[in-house]
Structure 1
Amino acid sequence: MQAAQQIDWLERTRRNMAAGASDMVDSIARIDVARYTDPARLAREQDLIFRRHPMAVSFSSKLAHPGDVVTHDLLGIPILLTRDREGRLNAFLNVCRHRGAKLVWQREQCGQRSLVCPYHAWTYDLVGRLRGIPHEEGFTQLDRATHGLARLQVAEAFGIVFVVPQPGEDYDFDGFFTTLRDDLDSFGLGSHVLYDEREIGIAGNWKLVVEGGLETYHVRQAHRATIAPMFADNVAVADRLGRHARLYFTKRNAAELQGQPLEGKSVRDYGNPLYYIFPNLVILVQPDHATVMAVFPQGTDTCIVQGGALIPEPPQNDKARLHWDRNVKIFWDALDEDFQMAQAIQPGFRSGANSHVTFGRFEQGCIWFHEEMDRVLDSGQSKTQN
């Protein structure tokens, strides 16, 4: 985050702390609870949002060396990532071009020189080219050049690997990340390494889990047993960044900013900057590392969270491991409270008690989240109808 942006955030934080208030939008918003229970709505989200936008599917440090291979299956589409012998990152559909078998079954491999289908042993290189066909005399009319692996658009940013799951033309990743890249690059996340990766199943709609990171209103009550004592009650700074958002979870020590010059001070010392990346990714920047959470729908009432910590370097000794274990535990313990809340809300939606959800003026992150989804879904529907 640039120095001018940090000063702006700290100035707004100081003002909000003095007033005991938060940034707010002009009006409340109401949405129908069917958004969380309707299978047709979920199908449209998966088609128009999760298939056609960049998805965080892995971490750069898991593909740090030539021959590293990672698979990802949480989008309902088998995805395969490789670091080829030239050091380039590649993404493909994890599907053999012979009979459609899943090509790589392991979640992670290293030191690979080729990819061999477990069904008939068709072999591909790490760039996706078809290199070997057993008993090739049976395929004399086959054009190898058109039977390479189906390529997906891929990019690395902030230590995370993003893939557009639907094959197609070049994707404008720079345009997608334009309002985020300067901030997140300034925290050095691109050179950080993954620590304590986790995958957690939740009996709740995916949007409930994302919403838990988009407002500070719930912290005092929902997190009273974990992180609430560290944070000011519902004092936040929030910026809309196109389809994305940037929020500041303000710590109690931000009261020290009153009457102090702000030049040279770091936002990491007085709160946690949180970045929401459309549609399902949250990056929480902490004093010496960041934590990452991506949410993948598995049904109207179920989802899977995949995430972990990005730390400056692999721990070199037990003392360093203990430090990171303690820090990461705080993150996951707080998230577990959010997950439990989502799992309690979902049956309530099914009960018929409420016809709608109401978001307050200081829950603007949730409002923006739904507005951006509506914009994409409405645009996709109109194109289909035309």
Structure 2
Amino acid sequence: MSAETHAASGGMFDWTLPASDYCDPALYQRERKEIFARSWMLFTWSERLKNPGDYVSGTLAGYPVFVIRDDDGVVRAFHNVCRHRGAQLLEKEEGHCGKLVVCPYHSWSFTRDGALNKAVDFGEGIAFDPQAWGLYAIDAEEWRGLVFLRIARGDESLIDWLGPIHAMAADYPLEQQHYFMSKDRDCAVDWKVYGENYLECYHCRTMHPGLCQSLDIDNYRIDTYATDKFFHLHAPKRDGGLTRGLYFYRFPFLMLNLYDWGSSIATVEPLGPGRIRHINWYFFNDVSPEKAEANRQSAEWSAQIVTEDLDIITGVQRNLEAGIYTRGPLSPKYEYAVKAFQNMCRDGLAPKAPLRGVAAE
């Protein structure tokens, strides 16, 4: 019998990950570099970057970054750090920087494509190569109005990373949808605890009465694509229910809920071991004032389900950290996708080629 299975009356079950995996600072740093930095991560949406010089700044798994529309209309992304003394270049969450990105500390300036423009009054006879001393670039690509970034450079394209999701979502009108509202929450929950909760409906009858009125829970299922590292969630609609669409979870933490009339698009910003920011954007085809109240009610209905999840898994996280619970059994009937998710976590920490664009330990 392997260490991962255990005999019970009538069959076998798999174990969860050890409780310590959800709160270990050293493991989190490995996840940050080996899993997060290697993955495409959803960062913003294209409508915020309409014109050359428009930018959005923020963090990805603890890395301060920004994206900017360059002079040719291409979205580029960089670490939000000056090459001189490490100052933060762009302090606002979004804005327009003009022709140059100028450091607020010593006025070094950089072009929109990241090259060094000028090291102001640095010293007589000293010249810096504009490319060698340009900003630290990261990968950036757009997909159907969404902007994704990747810290470690030069691996598979965003389309390849999305895999079958790209074709499966082709008929849903993302490009016709417009941003309506956000619901962001900082939570004392590990990113893995959140992912595992998302990938099972064992808890749905207990935790989500509103959802169960809308969905045919008896026919709910999750298809696991281990090679492509994504999950296709099937949630058939009951008569009169609000939900009908296409639902994906792409490892490590991209959630796409797509409908003909709008989308609920979510991701997680890991803030440390046992801490996340849950980020949820709501887009609709029609964002006119006449539809505002109906759109708000739809978004709030979705957000309430997330609230129900976060309330219970915050207690899960506390108990994982308390030192009594060590691990538990996974239901082969309901929690097979959780097991697949945990295998992806293990695989993500397997030895790989050195990272490009990420500092060594």
Relative to the length of structure 2, the TM-score reads 0.87
* Contact preservation (8 Å) 1:153, 1:171: no
Contact 2:173/2:260 (8 A) holds in 1 = no
Tell me how far apart the structure 2 counterparts of residues 186 and 35 of structure 1 sit (CA, whole Å).
39
* Equivalent residue number for residue 220 of structure 2: 236
The aligned runs of 1:242-321 (5 Å cut-off) are 242-253=228-239, 271-313=244-286, 315-317=287-289, 319-321=290-292
Over 3 Å counting, the alpha-carbon distance change for 1:113 and 1:197 in structure 2 is farther
Displacement after TM superposition at 1:359 (Å): 2.4
* Secondary structure at 1:342 match in 2: helix
| Secondary structure of residue in 1 paired with 2:81 | coil
SS at the partner of 1:298? strand
Flag the 1:182–1:27 CA change in 2: closer, same or farther, 3 A.
farther
What does 1:29-178 align with in structure 2 at a 5 Å threshold?
29-31=14-16, 32-110=18-96, 112-135=98-121, 137-138=123-124, 140-166=126-152, 168-169=153-154, 171-178=156-163
Contact kept? 1:213, 1:282, Cα under 8 Å: no
Aligned to 1:216, which of 201, 225, 233? 201
What letter is aligned with 1:114? L
Residue 20 of structure 1: aligned partner: none
Measured in 2, the distance between the counterparts of 1:30 and 1:185 equals 37
CA-based RMSD: 2.5
Amino acid at match of 2:348: V
Question: In the aligned structure 1, how far is the partner of 2:125 from the partner of 2:230?
Answer: 49
| Cα gap change, 1:83 to 1:381, in 2 (>3 Å) | closer
2-side partners of 1:165 and 1:27: how far apart?
40
Q: Work out the CA distance in 1 between the residues paired with 2:322 and 2:206.
A: 24
Displacement of 1:251 after TM fit?
2.5
Where do 4+ consecutive residues of structure 1 move more than 3 Å? 136-139, 268-272, 379-383
Q: Contact conserved, 1:71 with 1:108, CA < 8 A, in 2?
A: yes
Q: Does 1:345 align with 2:316?
A: yes
Per-residue Cα deviation, 1:196-229 (whole angstroms, up to 9, x for no partner): 12321001111122223212222221112x3232
Kept in 1, the 8 Å contact 2:172–2:259? The answer is no
CA distance in 2, matches of 1:27, 1:79: 46
Q: How far did 1:172 drift?
A: 2.9
Secondary structure in 2 aligned to 1:212? helix
The one-letter code of the counterpart of 2:307 is D
What whole-Å deviation, never above 9, does each CA across 1:280-311 have from its counterpart, x for those lacking one?
11111245211111112222221111221122
CA contact (8 A) 1:295 1:304 kept: yes
Seen in structure 2, the aligned counterparts of structure 1 residues 87 and 381 have a Cα distance that, compared at 3 Å, is closer
Q: State the 1:71 CA deviation.
A: 0.7
Q: 1:235 to 1:106 in 2, by over 3 A?
A: same
Distance, in Å, in 1 between the alignment partners of 2:115 and 2:155 is 19
Q: Which runs of 5+ in 1 are unaligned?
A: 1-25, 255-267
Measured in 1, the distance between the counterparts of 2:354 and 2:55 equals: 39
Specify whether residues 322 and 150 from structure 1 end up closer, same or farther in structure 2 by C-alpha distance, changes over 3 A only.
same
Which string of whole-angstrom CA distances, capped at 9 and with x for unpartnered residues, describes residues 101-156 of structure 1? Answer: 11111110136332111001111121112223322544623222311111111111
1:244-282 per-position Cα deviation (integer Å, ceiling 9, x unaligned): 11111222239xxxxxxxxxxxxx987443201111111
* Count of residues paired in the alignment: 341
The 1:330–1:59 alpha-carbon spacing in structure 2 relative to 1, beyond 3 Å, is: same
Contact 1:33–1:357 under 8 Å retained in 2: no
Comparing 371-380 and 275-284, the one that deviates more: 371-380
Q: 1:157 to 1:139 in 2, by over 3 A?
A: farther
CA distance in 2, matches of 1:360, 1:336: 24
TM-score by length of 1: 0.81
State the Cα distance separating 1:238 from its structure 2 match. Answer: 2.3
What is the CA-CA distance between 1:351 and the residue it aligns to? Answer: 3.1
Q: Is the 8 A contact 1:193 1:311 kept in 2?
A: yes
1:203 aligns with 2:176: no
The match for 1:366 is 338
Q: Please tell me the residue identity of whatever aligns with 1:61.
A: E
Q: Which moved more, 1:302-311 or 1:353-362?
A: 353-362
1:369 partner amino acid: F
Structure with bigger helix share is 1
